[in-house]
Amino acid sequence: TSELDFVAVRRSAEPAAATAERSMAGLRDEHGRQRSRIAAGRPEAVARQHKLGKLTARERLDLLLDVGSFVEVDLYRRGTTGAHTDGVVAGSGTVDGRRVFVYAQDFTISGGSLGAAHAAKIQKVMDLAVSTGSPIVALNDSGGARIQEGVLALHGYGGIFRRQVAASGVVPQIAVVLGPSAGGAAYSPALADFTFMVRDTAQMYLTGPDVVAQVTGERVSHADLGGADVHGSRSGVASFVHDDEPSCLAGVRELLSLLPSNNLEPPPALPACGASTDHRPRLAEIVPVEPNKPYDIRSVLAEVVDDGDYLEVHEHWARNVVCALARVDGRVVGVVGNQPVVLAGVLDIAASQKAARFVRFCDAFGIPLVSLVDVPGFLPGTEQELGGAIRHGAKLLYAYCEATVPRVQVILRKAYGGAYIVMDSRSVGTDLSLAWPTNEIAVMGAEGAVNLLHRRELAAAEDPARLRAALVADYRSELMHPYHAAEHGLVDDVIDPVETRAAIARGLAVLRDKRAETPRRKHGNAPL
């Protein structure tokens, strides 16, 4: 088919000038018609794409970009498919007036498969994105490496991956998976800073269900192996999951509105809204004083940020930690909060990975960090330990330790043990540590500490329960009282909860011009 297509497209693209008398009007006319024809695509292939529940590459770009802002490159580029564009629409446009570089794979041309010309186009826009300091948005809908092109297709992927890594931390990279993204091709979204997926139509896996069945005998559906829900809630591969393409592309626009264009520019700010004097009585009602009673950290988050508005990253994965982009007094911040309603807010493998990647993103792009701490520790158990909880927990520790952006820590309630240290404590370099009068910072909770320190006395006691209660009370009043850490300068201030938003806003304003010099090195060796 592709050979026939090739011939057909070549014929239809023969310049009119070759046969008719040359005139500017005629050339312009033919030029216009040819462009429209290429952009319209083959009607039956477009119909099939729509039947699959998917939009075309150009319809997607229309939804993503400001109206009329798309500037295409390489429309005429041809590769082995013979079709113009070679199955990827590439160029730049604006989102809320800010430039972005984009490419949208066109499934209607050889399944959006990637060959040498297709890859060269992608690489061209990636290079332009980096040299102009603009985000890259990739709309993926592809059967992967174009089989007929063999090693040239693989080489094309490699060149994209290398550019993605070189652009990492320089310009934001957003991958949007809107169809298949199979095999090694899935590594392109994996290397992006954020990955969006659409329910029902998007799939990502290294090997599809057929290969899985052949190799392991396991029978699994496309959706269960690589659908948006499994990647959004189980594997953590998808940072955002949407029901349909329009809401997904609107989500990309929203995310872009919170990101800087590159690592040398600040994120777009809105006018200050008086946060530094904003008292929020509700904050005193949300968090129960009892350390083990759950509440939703997102209600605290909503009180702290402007208009209660925030964009949660990985909303459905590792829900025991919440990572969100929001604004405080008009300026973008990244918020990391322990979530007491899920697993009591413990840190585990997934939560550490999720928060570490978020912290590193914010740091790379100059987004200040606010950490809302209420954490009982790391999740115990063989599953965690044998799964490498130490290695993964170290990622979060590493991420905070190396972050040089302004950092504000707010200890709402519990902060025990290693998890206290990791959650942006003074020792790992927070710039401003605030605590509520409900804070409890200790090596471990009072009950556990007393059981460990007084095992023999408790075993010998006539009334162990009474002794335990007395010892717990002593421990609390000596080591866990709310001013203990502040007395040692490890907390800068104990604040009235209703002043949290104001205190964070003031702290961020003070830290705005923070400069941090780090010694020269090739790169650190984060525990990946």
Give the footprint of ligand HXC on residues 422-451 (CB under 6 A).
none
Find the angle CA(159)-CA(164)-CA(167) to the nearest 5 degrees. Answer: 125
Distances (CA, A) of 276 to 194, 310, 504: 31, 18, 8
Kindly name the residue from 90, 104, 389, 419 that is annotated as catalytic.
Answer: 419
CB of 166 to ligand HXC, least distance (A): 17
Give the footprint of ligand HXC on residues 148-187 (CB under 6 A).
154, 157, 180, 182-185
Place of tokens 């652009």: 167
Considering the rule CB under 6 A, would residue 209 count as an interface residue with ligand HXC? Answer: no
CB of 87 to ligand HXC, least distance (A): 9
CB of 157 to ligand HXC, least distance (A): 4
CA 189 to chain centre: 11
Q: Which stretch binds ligand HXC (CB under 6 A): 28-36, 117-125, 144-152, 251-259?
A: 144-152
What is the amino acid identity at position 458? L
Q: Which is nearer to ligand HXC, 184 or 366 (CB)?
A: 184
Q: Which residues contact 494 (CB under 8 A, 6 or more apart)?
A: 434, 435, 436, 437, 439, 482, 483, 486
Closest by CA position to 422, among listed 343, 482, 340, 359:
359
Closest by CA position to 199, among listed 239, 232, 243, 252:
243
Can 418 be counted among the known catalytic residues?
A: yes
Q: Which is nearer to ligand HXC, 143 or 267 (CB)?
A: 143
Q: Which stretch binds ligand HXC (CB under 6 A): 109-117, 193-201, 386-394, 455-463?
A: 109-117
CB of 386 to ligand HXC, least distance (A): 30
What would the x/- binding string for ligand HXC be over residues 112 to 141, using CB under 6 A? -x----------------------------
Contact 134, 166 (CB under 8 A): no
CA distance 318 to 236: 8
Pairing of strands 88-95, 136-142: unpaired
φ, ψ for residue 273, nearest 5 deg: -125, 30
Residue nearest to ligand HXC (CB): 143
Considering the rule CB under 6 A, would residue 110 count as an interface residue with ligand HXC? Answer: yes
List helix spans (H) across 71-149: 116-132
Pairing of strands 407-416, 310-313: unpaired
Of positions 1, 19, 36, 131, contacts ligand HXC by CB under 6 A: 1
Can 473 be counted among the known catalytic residues?
A: no
Closest by CA position to 226, among listed 249, 213, 207:
207
CB of 175 to ligand HXC, least distance (A): 14
CB of 173 to ligand HXC, least distance (A): 17
Kindly name the residue from 115, 156, 183, 445 that is annotated as catalytic.
Answer: 183
CA distance 216 to 206: 14
Q: Which stretch binds ligand HXC (CB under 6 A): 107-115, 129-137, 367-375, 497-505?
A: 107-115
Kindly name the residue from 418, 429, 448, 509 that is annotated as catalytic.
Answer: 418
Q: Which is nearer to ligand HXC, 145 or 355 (CB)?
A: 145
Can 112 be counted among the known catalytic residues?
A: no
Q: What is the DSSP string of 443-462?
A: SS-HHHHHHHHTHHHHHH-S
Considering the rule CB under 6 A, would residue 227 count as an interface residue with ligand HXC? Answer: no
CA distance 316 to 232: 6
Of positions 91, 111, 226, 507, contacts ligand HXC by CB under 6 A: 111
What is the amino acid identity at position 191? L
Considering the rule CB under 6 A, would residue 79 count as an interface residue with ligand HXC? Answer: no
Closest by CA position to 104, among listed 159, 34, 163, 49:
49
Is residue 460 exposed (0-12), middle (13-18) or buried (19+ Cβ within 10 Å)? exposed
CB of 208 to ligand HXC, least distance (A): 6
Q: Which stretch binds ligand HXC (CB under 6 A): 68-76, 106-114, 324-332, 358-366?
A: 106-114
Q: Which is nearer to ligand HXC, 1 or 382 (CB)?
A: 1
Q: Which stretch binds ligand HXC (CB under 6 A): 105-113, 339-347, 361-369, 421-429?
A: 105-113
Q: Which is nearer to ligand HXC, 113 or 239 (CB)?
A: 113
Q: Which is nearer to ligand HXC, 110 or 239 (CB)?
A: 110
In the structure encoding, which two tokens stand for residue 12, read together?
Answer: 């239809």
Can 419 be counted among the known catalytic residues?
A: yes
Q: What is the DSSP string of 195-215?
A: EEEETTT-EEESS-HHHHHHH
Considering the rule CB under 6 A, would residue 143 count as an interface residue with ligand HXC? Answer: yes
CA distance 396 to 526: 10
CB of 352 to ligand HXC, least distance (A): 28
Q: Which secondary-structure segment (H or E) carries 89?
A: strand 88-95
Q: Which residues contact 8 (CB under 8 A, 6 or more apart)?
A: none
What is the amino acid identity at position 174? I
Q: Which is nearer to ligand HXC, 2 or 292 (CB)?
A: 2
Of positions 82, 144, 260, 393, contacts ligand HXC by CB under 6 A: 144
CB of 138 to ligand HXC, least distance (A): 14
Residues designated as active site: 183-184, 418-419
Which chain residues interact with ligand HXC by CB under 6 A? 1, 110-111, 113, 143-147, 154, 157, 180, 182-185
